[in-house]
Amino acid sequence: MISWEDFNKIDFRAGTIVKCQPFEGVHKPAIKLWVDLGPELGVKKSSAQITNLYIPEELVGKQVICVTNFPPKQIANFISEILVTGFPNKNGFVVLSSVDKPVPNGAKLF
C-alpha cells in the first residue's frame, strides 16, 4: 500500500500529441512524440515503443496521459522528457492511456 502523499508525488498530466515521427536507428522500433502539456509545462518529447498498434500519422491530435516528473532520459540521440503511459493488450502490445472526453492540456490526474 502507498500513502496519498506517495501518489501525489507522481505528476500525471493530460496532453495532446502535436508532432510525431518514426524513431530511426534504434534497437527496438519506436515513435518520437511531441506532447503539448499546456502553458505551464509546454511541449515535451517522449519516445514510445508503440509501432505494433500505431503509426505516426494517426497520433497527432490524440490526448494521452503522461508522467511529467521523471528525470530526462537519453535514448540514442533523443532526450525523452516525459513518460507517455499505456497498458499491454492481450498480445503484449502497448495501448496508449488516454481520456474518454477532451480535457485541457496540462490537466492533472487525481
The structural domains of the chain, ordered by start, are 4-96 (2.40.50.140)
In angstroms, rounded to a whole number, what is the distance separating the alpha carbons of residues 83 and 65? 9
* Residue among 55, 56, 54 at smallest CA distance from 34: 56
Summarised one tens digit per residue, pLDDT across range 11-20 is: 999 999 999 9
Summarised one tens digit per residue, pLDDT across range 69-86 is: 999 999 999 999 999 999
In angstroms, rounded to a whole number, what is the distance separating the alpha carbons of residues 103 and 93? 26
Segments in the chain forming alpha helices (H): 4-8, 38-41, 56-59
In angstroms, rounded to a whole number, what is the distance separating the alpha carbons of residues 74 and 110? 29
Q: In which residue ranges of the chain is pLDDT below 70?
A: none
The one-letter amino acid code at 55 reads: I
